[in-house]
Amino acid sequence: MHNITRLFDFPYYQLEKFNLEKSLVTKYNGNWVATSSKQYVDQANAVSRALLRLGVKPDDKIAIISMSNRTEWNIMDIGILQIGAQNVPIYPTISEDDYAYVLNHSEAKYCFVSCQEVYEKVKSVEAQVPSIKGIYSFDKLSECEHWSKILDLGKDESNQQEVETLKAAVKPENLATLIYTSGTTGRPKGVMLSHNNLVSNALESSKRLPIEDGKTNALSFLPLCHVYERMLIYLYQFRGVSIHYAESLETISENLKETSPYVMTAVPRLLEKVYDKILAKGAELKGIKRKLFFWAVEVGLDYEPYGKNGWWYEQKLSIARKLIFSKWKEGLGGNLGLIASGSAALQPRLARIFNAAEFGLMEGYGLTETSPVVSVNDMRDGGFRIGTVGKPLDRTEVKIADDGEICIKGPQVMMGYYKDPEKTSEVLKDGYFHTGDIGELDSDGFLKITDRKKEMFKTSGGKYVAPQLLENRFKQSRFIEQIMVVGEGEKMPAAIIQPDFQYLHDWAEKHNIVIPENSDIVLNEKVLEKYQKEVDLANEKFAKWEKVKQFRLTPDVWTIADGHLTPTMKLRRKIIKEKYIELYNDIYRP
């Protein structure tokens, strides 16, 4: 059996152990098309042979920029890595300026794009990137070479021996990929991850994944250019999981019904939206059905794992599951039993309700620089605790510094930032990676994240405020889609809020408040009164100096495209503050 020490060992291992008919499944023109383990390996070898014929050498960089997850991504990935070259995945929605920066900084030789939109972006900066020798696309486009040309070029197997020689020369400690983090500030940094960084993380994380080998189905939609989904794809290959790629974020609910997966990964924002949709459906019910629905929600929100709430609660939960939660499951494909959540803090109420409904929602923690998983919850053997990100993985040491910063040592810690020894030495010190997150380990070894070190601020009264804790509590309001707590160096915390406009319009209609435009909403007296009530409610549990004393509503939706959010939906605080500086100044006017 293949010993897995490098990323391209995963598909060979899968072929030997599981030989799946459906290793990777992507939907093209309305049909799900499966690629078997054998085809996956064969096509990856064809890619390797073709790249050699195109003059690609070990340590050359190949960029892949795809709007959606698809089988071609994985075939290219393995084909690139086998010859000792590096795969540089680029997030498709960054600006053209950032495209040029990343392609130049990595000195990419070839670029593989998914579609017309990405092709046009690359084309517009191609003249500024002298290293690029060619562009290929996965979709058939009139003016771009199709990637099948690569497969054709690699059909002739006469140079397979050269591929084998190069493969054998790749060491676990060699660089495998550069992942450019979309940092909330400044230019993207190229995180250097070795084969061993990612392989060790997939194998250690695998121990926390309670699934049946060779018999499980996954739906994948978080971008493969992020390390989180990518590491899981290797893990899935290791466990013989059949991977279905969702067409887009918009089609997830249809794709769930079509593929009935058992496992998927998600980010909290998506789970919040799913939960809000379920609640909205419940609100449409009438009479006893409605009462029953909201009774079940109340039961779910009290959920504690391992029967900690006692016999009487378990009876109620059993009824809620039979009558209400089973319908939620049907709505999400009927088979979903494991959701791994990462990339941002999960609200404890979501962990409670989704686990009450038997979705197996487990929160983990990690960073691009740690390939990514540091710790993760696991339902089995008492390894799950709500409000924590679980226990650290095996071979991973977590140390809490004097100022509360989480520091990591382990095989998953990156090699450093590409061409940037200075920034590398800022975070890799005394053998530990300094995460910039603040947290604590409880007596049982569960890790809890309390805030981003960089995001905590002091008011002018010298009191520390942790904005994420406040924001998470405030986002429990159906009226609040996004919120940023501000107040550094000011006399009190305040908030800039993006309303959930759909919910707000519905509410306004029910209360006979006529509002034609979003910009009229945010100034309406009755609306502001309602928001004040929501703010007062969210403030209740916080200390006097932490409470949000004032707020302003923004008339527009915060998006990745407009720069409010990073590609992983984190707030770009500086940019949001600049965009709404008038609202900010209005709050703090003397």
What's the pLDDT tens digit per position in 312-365? 999 999 999 999 999 999 999 999 999 999 887 888 999 999 999 999 999 999
Among left, alpha and beta (phi > 0; psi -120 to 50; other), residue 260 is left
Task: Sheet containing 175-181: give its strands across.
Answer: 145-146, 134-137, 108-113, 61-65, 86-89, 175-181, 189-194, 416-417
- Single pTM value for the model: 0.88
pLDDT of residue 93: 84
Start-end of H helices in 284-386: 287-301, 311-320, 326-331, 348-356
Q: Which parts of the chain have pLDDT scores under 70? A: 1-2, 182-186
pLDDT of residue 530: 93
Please tell me the distance from the alpha carbon of residue 100 to that of residue 122, in angstroms, as a whole number.
8
Q: Are 449 and 345 in contact (CB under 8 A)?
A: yes
What's the pLDDT tens digit per position in 117-171? 999 999 999 999 999 999 999 999 999 999 999 999 999 999 999 999 999 999 9
What's the pLDDT tens digit per position in 77-93? 999 999 999 999 999 98
pLDDT of residue 581: 93
Beta strands at 464-465 and 457-458: parallel, antiparallel or unpaired: antiparallel
pLDDT of residue 426: 94
Q: Are 434 and 483 in contact (CB under 8 A)?
A: no
Please tell me the distance from the alpha carbon of residue 558 to that of residue 556, in angstroms, as a whole number.
6
Mean of the per-residue pLDDT values of the chain: 94
pLDDT of residue 94: 83
pLDDT of residue 185: 56
User: In the chain, what are the domains?
Assistant: 9-170+207-263 (3.40.50.12780), 457-587 (3.30.300.30)
